[in-house]
Amino acid sequence: MKLDNRVAIVTGAGSGIGRAMATLFAAEGARVVVADIVAERVDETVAAIRTAGGEATGFVGDVSSPEDVARMIDLASETYGRLDILCNNAGIMDRMAPAADVPLDLWERVLRINLTGPFLACRKAIPLMRAQGGGVILNTASVAGLHGGRAGAAYTASKHGVIGLTRNIAYMYATEGIRCNAICPGGTETAIGLGGEPNEFGLNRMQLGAASMPRTGKPEEIARVALHLVSDDSSFVNGAVVVVDGGWSAY
């Protein structure tokens, strides 16, 4: 059991990669706060964990809301007495819209959820982790955070930002017992969708590179890498950006 007696928060845990992380972490002994904006999905993930013999508490909220994020972190601390693992996984897509076609409200929404959300959670969690002597943060970035042709302008910018935030936190708090890494999935079998009706020009440009994708991954494949990064098996891994894309970026 790699995560015995650990307390973990996983955002976006109602489906896809987040659900796979939450259920795997619980199977490895963690007590998990399952966070998502959709109550029904939260209930489904919590039920799956409990049915398998794990321990979980649900939280319904918006990661782009400072008030909701504060309540989420407080729930973990008040329910379980500490916070060892924070997985900032919640995110949305941007319809593959290139810069000239991105409505301002879409830009702001994508940045709020994909980048401001992880920042808010880290800002709230880090003082708790420092006080208890350490902790682990794992941010879900994307291969779009490393390249320019995997999504639209807003999503690409947000995931580049997540990687910058990850590296800054890793350096700043390395002497405080806090590790912070990012995972960069490639195409994965989830329900995230494109975020709405796709921009035809942007989608056509993106698909030129998508043709080189060896295959799509399964959420469980991403979760197994995440488990390694939040466990003591990676105790000397800090500030890393780990690509999990089946070799897509190798092209």
Report the C-alpha gap between 151 and 153 in whole angstroms.
7
Q: Is the dihedral of CA 48, 54, 56, 62 positive or negative?
A: negative
The predicted structure's pLDDT at residue 214: 84
b/e per residue, 20-46, with b = 16+ CB within 10 A? bbbbbbbbbebbbbbbbbeeebbebbb
Is pLDDT larger for residue 192 or for residue 88?
Answer: 88
Task: Label residue 123 by pLDDT band (50, 70, 90).
Answer: very high
Quote the percentage of the chain above a pLDDT of 90: 85
Which domains are seen in the chain, by residue range?
7-244 (3.40.50.720)
Residue in this structure with the two tokens 């790699």, named with its chain if needed: 2
How far is it between the farthest Cα atoms of the chain?
A: 50
Q: Are 73 and 137 in contact (CB under 8 A)?
A: no
The band of 211, judged by pLDDT with boundaries at 50, 70 and 90, is: confident
Q: Give the per-residue pLDDT at 208.
A: 81
Other CB atoms closer than 10 Å to residue 226's CB: what's the count? Answer: 27
Between helix 39-51 and helix 16-27 the angle, nearest 10°, is 30
What per-residue confidence (pLDDT) applies to 130?
A: 98
CA atoms within 13 A on the CB side of 13: 32
Reply yes or no on whether 155 is catalytic: yes
The single residue of 80, 155, 171, 251 carrying the catalytic annotation is 155
Question: pLDDT category, 192, cuts 50, 70, 90?
Answer: low
**Interval 124-147 mean pLDDT:** 97
Please check the confidence at residue 60 and state whether its pLDDT lies above 70. yes
How far, in Å, CA of 163 to CA of 202, rounded?
23
**Which of 86-95, 185-194, 214-223 has the least mean pLDDT?**
185-194
Q: What is the mean pLDDT of residues 186-202?
A: 82
Range in 160-174, 192-206, 218-232 the model is least confident about: 192-206
Mean pLDDT of 139-150: 95
pLDDT of residue 194 exceeding 80: no
Q: What is the mean pLDDT of residues 148-152?
A: 91
pLDDT of residue 202: 87
> Which residues touch 104 (CB under 8 Å, ≥6 apart)?
none
| pTM reported for the whole predicted model | 0.96
Answer for the pair 17, 45: CB distance below 8 angstroms, yes or no.
no
